[in-house]
Amino acid sequence: MATNPTAQAQVALVIGAGDATGGAIARRFAREGYVACVTRRSADKLQPLVDEITAAGGQARGFASDARKEEDVVALVEQIERDIGPIEVLVFNIGANVPCSILEETARKYFKIWEMACFSGFLNAREVAKRQVARGRGTILFTGATAGTRGAAGFAAFAGAKHALRALAQSMARELGPRGIHVAHVVVDGAIDTEFIRTQFPDRYALKEQGGILNPDHIAENYWYLHGQPRDAWTFELDLRPYMETW
């Protein structure tokens, strides 16, 4: 658990920095002077985001890491803390939304979805929390979904994983809050402005100009808001949805 005592940079670590929400969160924290350390299983896919942040005057580092593998996670956190700076903010942003009828779901895929959407959240949050507790400060933010509050037909695996992630966040918040660590869970309830929504759900995407789908930059603004909250008024759970989304 060695750290570099001379490192002055503050780090925002985004696990699952995709082209939409995760990337927007990384850009938002980089604008505030944080080094955005971003991960995906393939580092090549991170280069456009790293280049974008750097071109805007920020700092970013991309890491290839399998968030489901304990040895990868331990090595990642150790490297960042040693070579870059203290991880002040962890954002866990892995989704794994793969719909399937319960009658056709396989044990292998069910387990993989749980690994991606929940178990990897535990691994990353545990490693970062160890460092943050030692410093007496830090923020850990989990990206949740509607599936974490109610299970829909055809989404048993995803709902099970997201319910478990929410429970993990609740337990961590109760344990770590008194030790100075702000743990929060963000329920993203609605379609996000992504290429997937544009191509697979064109009718929903057509609502974009009316503010009918979530803008990743606006989602990211709420993550920055959570991190900046004073500790006498911490939010645990925040729901985000377009104004026309039904509850």
pLDDT per position as a tens digit, 3-12? 443 346 899 9
What's at 232, amino acid-wise?
D
pLDDT of res. 245: 80
Rounded to the nearest integer, the mean pLDDT of the chain is 93
CATH fold group of domain 11-240: Rossmann fold (3.40.50)
What's at 65, amino acid-wise?
S
Rounded to whole angstroms, how far apart are CA atoms 163 and 146?
9
Domains of the chain: which residue ranges? 11-240
pLDDT of res. 3: 40
Which segments of the chain have a pLDDT < 70?
1-8
- Residue 69: burial class (beta carbons within 10 Å; 0-12, 13-18, 19+): middle
**Of the candidates 61, 6, 3, 5, the residue with the CA atom closest to the CA atom of residue 30:** 61
Per-residue tokens: 143: 């990206």
For the question of whether the overall pTM of this predicted structure is more than 0.85, the answer is yes
DSSP state of 158: H
